[in-house]
Amino acid sequence: MVSAKTVSVAESVTLASAPQRSLYCVDRVSGPERRRLCEMGLIQGAAIQIVNRARRGMMVVKVGGSRLALARGMAEYVWVK
């Protein structure tokens, strides 16, 4: 089992640029897909982990007990720390 590390609280990066396998906390969600992302559970304060990245820009994330597939473009609107 791989142990996950936590990112420093001072840092805030987009989910698309965050390293895989680390645990994060959603800092904010912005952009035109904000409502849709929030409905998927990506709300401020939610714990999130990047499970896998595909070569064509898709990524699988774990939020709570669910796994979600996100396009890289949508992940650009989710800021984590």
Q: Where are the domains of the chain?
A: 13-80
The tens digit of pLDDT for each residue in 13-44 reads 999 999 888 899 999 999 999 999 999 999 99
pTM, full prediction: 0.80
Superfamily for the 13-80 domain:
Ferrous iron transport protein A (FeoA) (2.30.30.90)
H or E element that contains 72 = helix 72-75
Q: Measure the CA angle with vertex 40, ends 56 and 59; round to 5°.
A: 20
